[in-house]
Amino acid sequence: MNKLKLLFPILTSIIAGLLVAIITFAWTNPTANPPSGGGALYYYNGNVGIGTTTPVGELEISSTGQSDIFINSAANNNANLWFQQGGSNTFAIEAQGGTGGSNSFLSNRVDGGGIIFRTTATTLQERMAIISNGNVGIGTSAPGLLDNVDSRVLELGLGGKARTIFRITKGSDTYILGMDDVDGKLRIVNANGLTNFMPRDSAKGIIIDQSGNVGIGTVGPAARLTVQITAGDPTITNNVMELNSGTKWWRMGMQTDASAGSLLFSGSDNTTGWKVAYRFEHNGNAFADGTWNGGGADYAEWFKKEENIPRKSLVGLNAKTGYARVWRKGDPFLGVQSTTPGFIGNNIKGTDSRPEKMEKDYVLVALMGQVEIESNDITEEGRMIKTTDGQFIGWRLEDGRIFIR
C-alpha cells in the first residue's frame, strides 16, 4: 500500500505531462498550421504545403533538392495515382502488378477522352496529343480524317515553315525527313541533297538525285531513269520490268553476255516457261522468235525526189538526174507512192528517219505489196496493170487494190 501511494503521484505526473504534450504539440486544428516542431508541413488558405509556407495549390511540394512522391504497394498489387474531375472524368498514372509481370500506363479512363502534352516556351502550347481512337498528333491536338478518306494514325502539324520531322545520324552520315514550305513536298534527303531508299545491299537500292534522276542499282543515275543490272549473266534473269496478269507474263530485260547489251522481251503463258520473243541488239539488229505483223501491206524505201509527188501516184526515175519524180512516159517505173507501208527498208537518217522529217526531201515508194494507185497513166488488160508506155506494174485484186512486184 505504501508503494502504491508513492507510485500514484509519479504516474499522475507522467500522465499529466503526456496530456500537456499532446495538447501543446499535437495538430488538433486542421485549419491551422501544425504546431511548432511539426516539420515542413503547413496549411495556408485552404492549401497544404510540404516544404513551403505558402502553397498555391491544394497540395504543393517544394524542396531545395529533388522532390519525390513514392507510392509503394504490396507485391502483385497496383500502385496508382488517380486524378478525378466531378467524380467521373478520371486520369491515372498506373503501375499494374501481377504474377505475370508488370506494366506502366498513362491513361484517360473516360470514353472519348484523350491525352494532351503541353510545354511552355513563352506561352503554354499543345505539343502532342493521343486521342481516343489511338491517333497521335504532333503539333496538332486533333489528328483524324483526311478528306473523309484516310484515317491517320500519326499526323505531324508543321505550321507554315519548312521543318525537319526526323533526323537520323550515324557517324558523319545524316538523313532528314522533312517538308518543304514552298511546295509542300515531303523530302527524304542526306547531306548532299540525295533521296535514298537503300536495303542492306546498297548497290541494289533506289536513289533520286537533286536533278530528279532516278537510279535503281546505281548511285549516279545519268538519265531520268537508270537501271544498273549485274553484268555477265547470259540468261533472261536480268529483268528491268515485269507485267503480270496472273496467267500471262511479259518481262523486259537486258542480256549482258557476248551479245553486249541486247534488249530482250520475254513472255510466258505459265505452262511452257519463259521464252525470248524479241531481241534488239545495240548495233541495230533485231530478231523475233515468231512473225512480224504490220498494219500496212507493202515494202517501201525512201528515194530522193526532185518535185512534190502526190499520194498514191506512180513514181518514176529521172534517168538524167537520178531523182524520183511523178512518173511520165520514158521514165523507168520505180513503184507507187506509199501511204501505209508495212515495212520500210532503208534507214537513211537513223533515228531521225521520221516521215515529217523525211518528206521534205524524200518520197516513200512502195516497191512490193498491195497498194492503191490514183493515176491516169495506167492501162488494164484484164487484171494486168501497166503504164501507158507498156511497163508492167502489177495485178488488180478483188478489193480494187493492186499487187505490185
Pair (335, 370) in one structural domain: yes
* Residue 363: inside a domain: yes
Pair (242, 282) in one structural domain: yes
The pLDDT assigned to 51 comes to 81
Per-residue pLDDT of the chain (405 residues), as tens digits, is 555 455 555 555 555 554 444 444 445 455 555 554 444 678 888 888 888 888 888 888 887 777 778 888 887 777 778 777 776 667 777 776 665 556 676 777 665 567 777 777 788 777 777 777 777 777 776 766 444 344 555 666 655 555 556 677 777 777 676 665 555 566 666 666 666 666 544 556 777 877 888 887 777 888 888 877 655 444 444 566 777 776 777 777 776 554 556 777 888 776 677 777 888 877 777 888 888 787 788 999 999 999 999 999 999 999 999 999 999 999 999 999 999 898 888 877 665 667 777 888 999 999 999 999 999 999 999 999 999 999 999 999 999 999 998
Which residue range forms the structural domain that includes residue 277? 229-288
Cell readout for 178 is 522533312
* Residue 214: inside a domain: no
Helix, strand, or coil (residue 105): strand
Pair (281, 318) in one structural domain: no
Pair (303, 398) in one structural domain: yes
Q: Number of folded domains in the chain?
A: 3
Say how far apart CA 307 and CA 43 lie, in whole Å. Answer: 114
Give backbone dihedrals phi and psi of 135, rounded to 5 degrees, phi first: -65, 145
